[in-house]
Structure 1
Amino acid sequence: MNFDSYEKLGLNKKLDREVIVNGRSNNEPRDTSGDVNYHPCLESYKQEGVLEGNLVYFKDWSETEIFGGTQRDISVYIPDTSNTKDLKLIVLQDGDSYKNENGPVRAISVFNNLLYQKRIDPFAAIFVMPGRPMGMKVNAPGEKRRPEAHRQRSVEYDSCDDRYLRFMKGELIPFVSDNLDLNISDDPLNRLLIGMSSGGICAFNAAWHDPDSFGNVISHCGSFTNIRGGHNYPSIIRNTERKQIKAFLQSGKEDLNNIYGNWPLANKQMASSLDYAGYDYRFEFGVGSHSLNHGGSLFAESITWIWNS
């Protein structure tokens, strides 16, 4: 297709989230009634006698050239173990949503319980937030993300290039391992990327660009839609030689349906393409909305499936 046709069809346009088309917008009320069917998994509750890992915080971290002019909060989970050689690694995008001890996932308690029960080998986990412009304060709980921060998150998470991959490999992980003296495994089978919505496609996209560095993905309500080109992945998966990626996808019938696309359909397309191309994958499609409720109910199960099945 030549550029004139590309432009004539409007394929060069980047739709702002506030735009109204055909009387429809991305800000329409959403049906979340299906979320009542899901509750945090059993492993998300603190158990007496379970040893707890340590959590180290890096606030307003800005040591990045790839996303220069941004700052972000990082939290690192370090397991309570003497075996710190070749630690497995989990990187969670929108980390605070997963870390929230009153949220639908409560990842810290899940990690503590899984390790205490010896259901998975020791690992470190990086909870990383998307960047925000320098000097911008963190949103208060429940506060809508500021437009500049929303755009930066989309640039980092929705873009289908390799910048976020290079950010993790060349800046984030070396910073964490050097500052905390962690010996993190280089084996892609020992590395897991997790994300919700745009964080979901971010996780898959990074693994796709370099499966020799990241071999496992958990995507909750992944945005495989036309925000910044992610809707192309189902066809790309079908016509590309299979890569060594193991993927757990989750969506639901009340997931988003807006100007960018239909999330339930997009995730079904992803699952179909992964199946067609012979990938080791699992797809959980429920009745929930664009939230972490369903994914949280399966959180411990999904991690053990990635590393034990």
Structure 2
Amino acid sequence: MSPTVPFAALPIGQRDVSYEYGPDSAIRPDVPAGTIEELHLGSSERYPGTSRKVWVHRPAGHLADAASAVMVFNDGWWYLDPDGAVRGGTVLDNLAADGVLPQMIGVFVDPGVVNVDGVPTKHRNAEYDAFDDTYASFLLEEVLPEVESRYGVSAEPMNRGICGGSSGGNAALTAAWTRPDGFGRVIAFNPSFAQMPGGNPYPELLAAEAPRPTRVFLHAAHRDLHWNERAWNWFAESLDTASALARAGYDFRLVVGDGSHSPNHGGVLLPDALRWLWAEDHTDA
């Protein structure tokens, strides 16, 4: 039986829309909180001179020795913060309690910080916007081994996902594209493909190469930056990428919302994005 979507009035104005969070984004009294372990990476081979924090989330009842699925979240604490716009740990706790995800470890990775003339400066755009395998390899060869030294982690790419928004969305898709041996599932909220050095590479690449098993949940906001301009149109670049995914036969889902370049809608979508991304059978999804 097909699902029935409840009626929701269509907002007339599109720029300042705010979406209401669902029950999976709120702490539920019947769901025990998972554990969160904070790690500090004081150095990096891939990104010399950077340091960063990483948080490892495990839901209640997690079996430490079992080979767990992994979901990496770019912008670390910003995605984990229970009072923030995304509330990733709360969402993972609730979905684990409902049994809709495989046993999963959430790995929340902050962008690197580098010292510039004595001033701590985020290395975020250098890491997230680049079209190469540096960030993906950093995750696979420097971050995940820290997790694997503590807990069982599956080595299968389709048991490893990555999520991010804006430039973090770029990094998520690029990680799966450049290291398909490491990541098989992607969530990209409001990606900023237009600002990647050299422009958005994905429409051309997707048209030229054979499809991969990668699953992609892609979100775009109709009033994203430069939405009605010829150049640097963040909304149009997301649509172009979605069109290329469709023509190439990918297992993907596109959700378009109203509003501007805001984390709100992505945060609201996260529970259902994870449900869709990790569903075993997408033939009817």
Deviates more, 1:102-111 or 1:160-169: 102-111
Spell out the pairing of 1:191-270 with structure 2 (5 A cutoff).
191-257=160-226, 261-270=232-241
Partner Cα separation in structure 2 for residue 225 and residue 217 of structure 1: 18
Partner Cα separation in structure 2 for residue 307 and residue 136 of structure 1: 44
Alignment match, 2:270: 299
2:51 corresponds to 1:71: yes
* Matched residue type, 2:43: E
* Matched residue type, 2:72: V
Residue 40 of structure 1: which of 16, 21, 35 is its match? Answer: 21
Contact 2:75–2:110 (8 Å) recurs in 1 = yes
C-alpha deviations, 1:108-131, integer Å up to 9, x for none?
Answer: 111111001111121001111111
Q: 1:273 to 1:87 in 2, by over 3 A?
A: same
Contact 1:39–1:104 (8 Å) recurs in 2 = no
Partner Cα separation in structure 2 for residue 227 and residue 260 of structure 1: 13
C-alpha deviations, 1:34-86, integer Å up to 9, x for none?
Answer: 332x1223201111121211001124x22311101011111110222253311
Alignment match, 1:10: none
2:156 corresponds to 1:187: yes
2:278 counterpart SS class = helix
Q: Give unpaired runs (5+ residues) of structure 2.
A: 1-12
2:192 counterpart SS class = coil
Deviates more, 1:76-85 or 1:50-59: 76-85
Partner Cα separation in structure 1 for residue 82 and residue 205 of structure 2: 38
* Matched residue type, 1:108: G
Q: Give unpaired runs (5+ residues) of structure 1.
A: 1-30, 138-145
Alignment match, 2:3: none
Spell out the pairing of 1:85-124 with structure 2 (5 A cutoff).
85-124=66-105
2:162 counterpart SS class = strand
Residue 39 of structure 2: which of 58, 70, 77 is its match? Answer: 58
Q: TM-score, normalised by structure 2?
A: 0.87
Partner Cα separation in structure 1 for residue 204 and residue 46 of structure 2: 29
Contact 1:92–1:126 (8 Å) recurs in 2 = yes
Contact 1:71–1:134 (8 Å) recurs in 2 = no
Partner Cα separation in structure 1 for residue 17 and residue 181 of structure 2: 36
Q: TM-score, normalised by structure 1?
A: 0.81
Alignment match, 1:19: none
Give the deviation of 1:289 after TM superposition: 1.4
Contact 2:62–2:103 (8 Å) recurs in 1 = no
Contact 1:99–1:105 (8 Å) recurs in 2 = yes
Residue 165 of structure 1: which of 131, 136, 139 is its match? Answer: 136
Alignment match, 2:247: 276
Partner Cα separation in structure 1 for residue 189 and residue 117 of structure 2: 28
Identity %: 32
* Matched residue type, 2:268: S
Partner Cα separation in structure 2 for residue 188 and residue 40 of structure 1: 30
* Matched residue type, 1:130: P
Partner Cα separation in structure 2 for residue 45 and residue 235 of structure 1: 40
RMSD over equivalenced CA pairs, Å: 2.1
Q: 1:282 to 1:69 in 2, by over 3 A?
A: same
C-alpha deviations, 1:167-194, integer Å up to 9, x for none?
Answer: 011111102221xx11111111111100
Alignment match, 2:61: 81
Contact 1:105–1:293 (8 Å) recurs in 2 = yes
Partner Cα separation in structure 1 for residue 275 and residue 84 of structure 2: 20
Q: 1:200 to 1:136 in 2, by over 3 A?
A: farther
Partner Cα separation in structure 2 for residue 69 and residue 44 of structure 1: 36
Alignment match, 2:9: none
* Matched residue type, 1:122: Q
Detail structure 1 runs of 4+ shifted over 4 Å in the superposition: 134-137
Give the deviation of 1:227 after TM superposition: 3.1
Partner Cα separation in structure 2 for residue 214 and residue 135 of structure 1: 32
2:259 counterpart SS class = strand
Q: 1:136 to 1:255 in 2, by over 3 A?
A: farther
Alignment match, 2:124: 153
2:266 corresponds to 1:286: no
